[in-house]
Amino acid sequence: MGYARSRSAVAPLRRGLAAAGPRPAGPRPSVLQATALHRPEEPMLCVRPGVLAETARSFVAAFGAAVGGDVLYAVKCNPDTTVLRALWAGGVRHFDVASPGEIRLIRQMFPDAVLHYMHPVKGRQAIRAAYEQYGVRDFVLDSMEELEKIRQETGDAADLGLVVRLALPKGNAVYDLSGKFGAPAAEAVALLRAARAVAPKLGVSFHVGSQMLDPAAYERAIALAGAVIAEAGVAIDVLDVGGGFPVSYPGVTPPPLGDFMAAIARGIATLDLPAHCRIWCEPGRALVAPGVSLVVRITKRRGDELYITDGVYGSLSDAGVPGFRFPARLLRPFEPMSEAPVAAFAFYGPTCDSADRMNGPFLLPSDAREGDWIELGQLGAYGSCLRTAFNGFEQARVVEVADPPLLETPGYDLAASAA
Ligand SMILES: Cc1ncc(COP(=O)(O)O)c(C=O)c1O
């Protein structure tokens, strides 16, 4: 998720991204056709609106069938406007926003969207603007100080939804999120009582960590939330089971989506929640990862290392220190496809920093050479939103394509997605 990147400021939204402009009429091209057309020398992000909409549809339907709940898309994961429009087309109406920029963007694009401010530590001005200008009513918090701040900046508003974020013990998610936010159980009990006294809508939330491969983690977290709610002796109106839902990467196939939904439904069935209590979730990665790939060009080959036109300061932050592997395919739009056996490669990105290295291994035909293009899949989540301008490599082209994802994640019905 780029959290491991030690230096370089994260770029403002869409900085350096050259959108393709209004899409020409007619069917979207394939990635291979778009590569032949543009011969991209800079990274080319290939957005699959059909895949994004179908993924959202599948997820919203599965969560609805399991617990009748609301799906809040975590905007931080990918705020690209084409991506957001596709999710809206797929039925997403609620958004987990965590900054003034995200709030403005979603409110501008979708005046009817429901916004939930899910950052537990907010600036005072951001709270005030969210409430007064953008109609935000739901705010997450994990401390008494934040509760006071929200009360003061909204003028003790009588229509708040306050959601207490619970700390979870460090779990086994690929991306642990237990360190920074969340009230320990005893504090959460006190916070729930204090928030109940001032808010007509009260909730509990948690995050099991990103790319969580174990459905039982949700059941355990729900049980902990249940214990805290019981100890507080309050009735709640919302239980938010967070994000963390996984996708496939090379060598990693998560349990089907249905297993996660079943675990959440089982966990909730054990709690004594009021009948009106809404269940929310905040997926990011699961909704958008399969919907965007990246085309890069090979600028040099040195043994089994390929120098390519994007790297850890661009869309491939997670391929650096976090060590994510992405599905790869070689593109030779003007020649027959290589039939060479597959070999393992590491990548170097375009900047002069030695840390701009991606160990992979990335599997490609063994005759990959300078001038070839490579498509890397599953990059819709925490990819382009983390691009920086470091070393002058901020430019990237954005195109819409019709291809299916490079890797399937079990449990999603993407049959109707090519468009
Ligand atoms: C509060 C919150 N909700 C949801 C998400 C989305 O998580 P994921 O992409 O793992 O689904 C994040 C990710 O950092 C988060 O911080």
Residues 6+ apart with CB under 8 A from 370: 298, 299, 300, 301
The answer to whether 296 and 308 are in contact (CB under 8 A) is yes
Alpha carbon of 208 to ligand 1 centroid (Å): 9
Query: Are 71 and 203 in a shared domain?
Result: yes
Mutational test site, ligand 1, from 92, 204, 207, max ligand atoms within 8 Å of CB: 207
CA distance 106 to 171: 32
Mutational test site, ligand 1, from 177, 218, 292, max ligand atoms within 8 Å of CB: 177
Query: Are 37 and 76 in a shared domain?
Result: no
Query: Are 100 and 201 in a shared domain?
Result: yes
Query: Are 109 and 243 in a shared domain?
Result: yes
User: Domain span at residue 82?
Assistant: 50-288
Single residue among 255, 288, 321 that ends a domain in this structure: 288
Query: Are 284 and 183 in a shared domain?
Result: yes
Which residue's CA is the nearest one to ligand 1's atom 5? 243
Mutational test site, ligand 1, from 282, 285, 288, 378, max ligand atoms within 8 Å of CB: 282
Question: For the residues 121-132, what does the mean pLDDT come to?
Answer: 98
Q: 224-280, pLDDT tens digit by residue? A: 999 999 999 999 999 999 999 999 999 999 999 999 999 999 999 999 999 999 999
Domain containing residue 23: CATH number: 2.40.37.10
Angle at which helices 100-109 and 81-89 pack, to 10 degrees?
A: 60
Give the number of domains in the chain: 2
Identity of the amino acid at 156: D
Question: For the residues 307-312, what does the mean pLDDT come to?
Answer: 98
Q: 19-52, pLDDT tens digit by residue? A: 656 666 679 999 999 999 999 999 999 999 999 9
Residue at 204 is within a domain: yes
DSSP character string of 246-274: ---BTTB-PPPHHHHHHHHHHHHHTS---
Place of tokens 């079990």: 410
Decide whether any atom of ligand 1 lies within 6 Å of the 165 Cβ.
Answer: no
Query: Are 284 and 353 in a shared domain?
Result: no
Decide whether any atom of ligand 1 lies within 6 Å of the 241 Cβ.
Answer: no
Query: Are 242 and 211 in a shared domain?
Result: yes
Per the confidence metrics, is the pTM higher than 0.85? yes
With cut-offs at 50, 70 and 90, classify the pLDDT of residue 415.
Answer: confident
Alpha carbon of 74 to ligand 1 centroid (Å): 6
**Burial category of 301 from C-beta neighbours within 10 Å (exposed 0-12, middle 13-18, buried 19 and up):** middle
Mutational test site, ligand 1, from 72, 92, 96, max ligand atoms within 8 Å of CB: 96
| pLDDT given for residue 13 in this prediction | 40
| pLDDT given for residue 200 in this prediction | 97
Residue at 9 is within a domain: no
Does residue 114 carry a pLDDT above 50?
A: yes
Alpha carbon of 251 to ligand 1 centroid (Å): 23
Q: 374-407, pLDDT tens digit by residue? A: 999 999 999 999 999 999 999 999 999 999 999 9
Alpha carbon of 73 to ligand 1 centroid (Å): 9
Q: At CB < 8 A and 24+ separation, what contacts does 20-28 make?
A: 20/397, 20/398, 20/399, 20/400, 23/400, 27/402, 27/419, 28/400, 28/401, 28/402, 28/419
From the candidates 77, 277, 281, 352, which is the catalytic residue?
352
Known catalytic residue at 281: no
3-state secondary structure of 170: coil
Query: In whole angstroms, what separates CA 115 from the centre of its chain?
Result: 16
Does residue 12 carry a pLDDT above 80?
A: no
- Smallest Cα–Cα separation from 66: which of 227, 269, 217? 269
Domain containing residue 188: CATH number: 3.20.20.10
Query: Are 243 and 272 in a shared domain?
Result: yes
Place of tokens 């991204």: 17
Ligand 1 atom nearest the C-alpha of 382 is 9
Query: Are 284 and 294 in a shared domain?
Result: no
Alpha carbon of 362 to ligand 1 centroid (Å): 26
CA distance 140 to 98: 10
CA distance 179 to 173: 13
Residue at 416 is within a domain: no
Residue at 407 is within a domain: no
Query: Are 265 and 340 in a shared domain?
Result: no
Q: What is the mean pLDDT of the chain?
A: 93
Which residue's CA is the nearest one to ligand 1's atom 1? 118
Single residue among 288, 304, 339 that ends a domain in this structure: 288
| pLDDT given for residue 231 in this prediction | 97
Element (H, E) at 386: none
3-state secondary structure of 316: coil
Query: Are 243 and 326 in a shared domain?
Result: no
Ligand 1 atom nearest the C-alpha of 140 is 1
Decide whether any atom of ligand 1 lies within 6 Å of the 243 Cβ.
Answer: yes
Question: For the residues 339-360, what does the mean pLDDT come to?
Answer: 97
Q: Give φ, ψ of 368 to 5 degrees.
A: -50, 135
Residue at 113 is within a domain: yes
Residue at 97 is within a domain: yes
Decide whether any atom of ligand 1 lies within 6 Å of the 242 Cβ.
Answer: yes
Alpha carbon of 53 to ligand 1 centroid (Å): 19
Identity of the amino acid at 34: A
Residue at 415 is within a domain: no
Residue at 306 is within a domain: yes
Single residue among 288, 318, 338 that ends a domain in this structure: 288
Query: Are 182 and 122 in a shared domain?
Result: yes
DSSP character string of 45-83: EEE-HHHHHHHHHHHHHHHHHHH--EEEEEGGG---HHH
Alpha carbon of 282 to ligand 1 centroid (Å): 6
